[in-house]
Structures are given as C-alpha cells and as structure tokens.
Amino acid sequence: SIRDNKPYDRFARELLTSNGSNFRVGPVNFYRAIQDRSPEGIATAVALTFMGCRAENWPSNTLAGMSVFFSQVNYKPTREWKEEIVFWDPDKAAAGAPQVGVLPDRTRITLTPGRDPREVFADWLITPKNDWFTANIVNRIWSWLLGRGIIHEPDDMRADNPASNPALLLFLRREFARSGCDTKHLFRLILTSRTYQLSSIIAPEKIEKAAPLFAFYPLRQLDAEVLIDAINAITGTSDLYTSAIPEPFTFIPANKPAIALPDGSITSPFLELFGRPARATGLENERVNKPSASQRMHLLNSSHIQRKFETGPNMKRLLDPARKPKETIEELYLSILSRFPTPDEIAAVESYMKSGVAKRNEVGIDLAWALINSDEFLFRH
C-alpha cells in the first residue's frame, strides 16, 4: 500500500475494517499488535494512530462511547502455528454488547444489526471535514521531517495543546484533502519547501524561541536503523538481528536492512544502544534519539565497528594499493559524506600517509573511522 501510494483514507479504512488470517490479510495485524484487546484498548490504539490523541486522558465516557464501535472484534486461533483470525463477530452484540456508540465529536450512533460497527467509525473518521484525521497525518509527517510537530508532541492533540502555526496546519490539511489524501504529494510539498531547506546554523541562545517557528533546520542524530544501515552500506557488511522471543521459524536474511525489520522485538545491541524503540506503546517519544557518551564510545572504540572496517569487502576495494591515494581519499569522502574532500582535507590525509605513522591501508581505515564519527555524518543537518 505504501509502495503503491494508496490514498491514506482508503488505507486507514481498509486497515480498520479488516478481517481474516494474519498470514493472508496483512492489515489484520494492526489488531493483533494491540496489547490490550478489550474494546477500550482497541479504541485507545485507534485514537492514537489515526487521530493523534491519547485517549487514556479523555473523559471516561468519551472513550467508552468510542469503544462501542470495536466491541464486536474477535480473535480465534487455528491449527497453524501462530496463525490467528481477526473477525467481526456479530454474536457479541447478541451477548449484550452496547448498541449505541458515541463518536469523539459526541455524535450518537445506534448500531445497525448486520453491519460491522467498525465501518461506521471508519466512514466518520476519513471524511475530509474530520479535523482529527487530516491534522494527525500531516502533523506526524511534518514532525518526522522537521523534528517536531506543528502540534507538539505529534501524538498529543488536544484543545489545550494548540498548533504553533495554525495557518500552516490548516493549509497542509486542506492541501492533503485536495490531493485525495496523497501522502507522496505531502512529502514532496514539505521536502521542496523553503522551510525544510533552511540552514541548521543558528545562535544557541535563539534555539528555544525559534524551534516552534521552524526558523531553522534542527540538527538530529540519525535514527539507529538508518545509522547502522549506512555503516553497513559503506563497508559492505551486515549485522545479525535476533529476537528475545523464541521464534523457531523466523529467518532474517543477512543482507536485510535494519530499517526493514518488521518486529520491534527483533533487534541487536547496536539498535538498542542507539535508541530504537521496542514499539510497545505506539508513542513517538518511545524512540530515544539523543546522543550519549556510550554511543560515541561504541563508534570510536568497539570491535563491532572495527571489524566492519577491517574486513568489509567495500573497504578492501576502496583501499586497494593499486589505487592512487587521492582517488581513495575522494571515494571515501563521497561514500561517507556524499561530497568531495576540500584541498585542505586532502592535504591533511596525504601528510598523514607520508608521515609513516601508519601503513597506507591503516590510514584509509583511520580516515573512514574518523568520518563516521564526524557530526557531518552522524547528524541530519
């Protein structure tokens, strides 16, 4: 769906109204991933995911009213290992489930026998006039790209947490709806904007006031998955990912990028150290992306990173003695920083090579190691 750029309203409706086997109908895994499978638990997850609201902070009657639309969701296992069927179970209504749901806008809906109440909720959710739906997704995408939401935090939308720029949020909502809920269009619009392309250079004393105004591009360390994937691409190596939960039929190909790992429990020491979340809560702030001393020590002084530079096939190709020193230096800079070295940088590396302090191969490894520890590599800027 993401690859094919399915309209986001269709994507949301299909996911919310899905039925079937988790092996054959991918969208039902949304319901399987919810830890609290009570109607209230499902409603809380839906509100967080598609409305950007923390429903546990709502008045209890508001959450109870919304949970009615998910009161007929049921689960059953099969004989297949770990297969589970998620389905609409109208028998739950006959068993005494509430028959009147209340939408978050306080509209009361009497459930119709023979119709999945999730469809009623989904149809209300995706209407273009639903501020929660459009504001949630445009605010989330904005926060992913620019480090903070127009409403901050992006999954804490409420009346007493207003947008820092209401006009901007309204414009993006309307443009998203006008485009037919085209997420690629929204990404393109933001990425080509002057705001996204602003410099990250700003006086430290101005950061606090300027951040909500998006007056500069915020420096942010690369996400854990992106960082290890970049290092592996540079060196031509891979990492081993494992799960704390026994999964006898789980096979993670050696060349699978960390960004594509489908399960938060499948991880590695590197991913844990650099703040990849376990995805237990669904909250954006579950990811800890702030630099730490232990992270820097790992990049500077770990055998994990050292082995990649010493044994990686890409590094062996780059450090081939038959190559000219300047050619090696330039390709290392291009591979790691996506730019050519300056004349001063070339001169510094060539001087280090001629000093005899280290062999040429070791100089190349030292250079690569220094570059991946630079802020230019580690941070979006």
pLDDT in tens, 204-257: 899 989 999 999 999 999 999 999 999 999 999 999 887 777 665 566 777 889
pLDDT, residue 256, reads 86
CA 222 – CA 283 distance, rounded (Å): 19
341 Cβ neighbours under 8 A, 6+ residues apart: 329, 330, 333, 349
Task: Report the largest interatomic distance among the alpha carbons of the chain, rounded to a whole angstrom.
Answer: 85
Q: Which residues contact 113 (CB under 8 A, 6 or more apart)?
A: 90, 93
Q: Write down the pLDDT at residue 71.
A: 94
Tens of pLDDT along 52-88?
A: 999 999 999 999 999 999 999 999 999 988 899 999 9
Domain boundaries, the chain: 8-123, 131-213, 220-292, 295-380
User: pTM for the full model?
Assistant: 0.89
Q: Where are the beta strands (DSSP E) in 25-143?
A: 73-77, 84-88, 100-102, 108-110
| 7-18 per-position pLDDT tens digit | 999 999 999 999
Let me know how many helices (H) and strands (E) the chain has, helices first: 19, 9
CA dihedral 363→364→369→374, nearest 10 degrees, is 100
Question: Can you tell me the mean pLDDT for 177-196?
Answer: 97
Give the pLDDT score at 246: 62
Checking if the pLDDT of 130 tops 80, the result is: yes
The answer to whether the peptide bond before residue 362 is cis (omega within 30 degrees of 0) is no
Residues 253-296 have pLDDT tens digits of: 778 899 998 888 888 999 999 999 988 888 999 998 899 999 99
Beta bridge partners of 110: 100
- pLDDT at position 262 is 81
What confidence tier does 95 reach under pLDDT thresholds 50, 70, 90? low
pLDDT for residue 141 is more than 90: yes
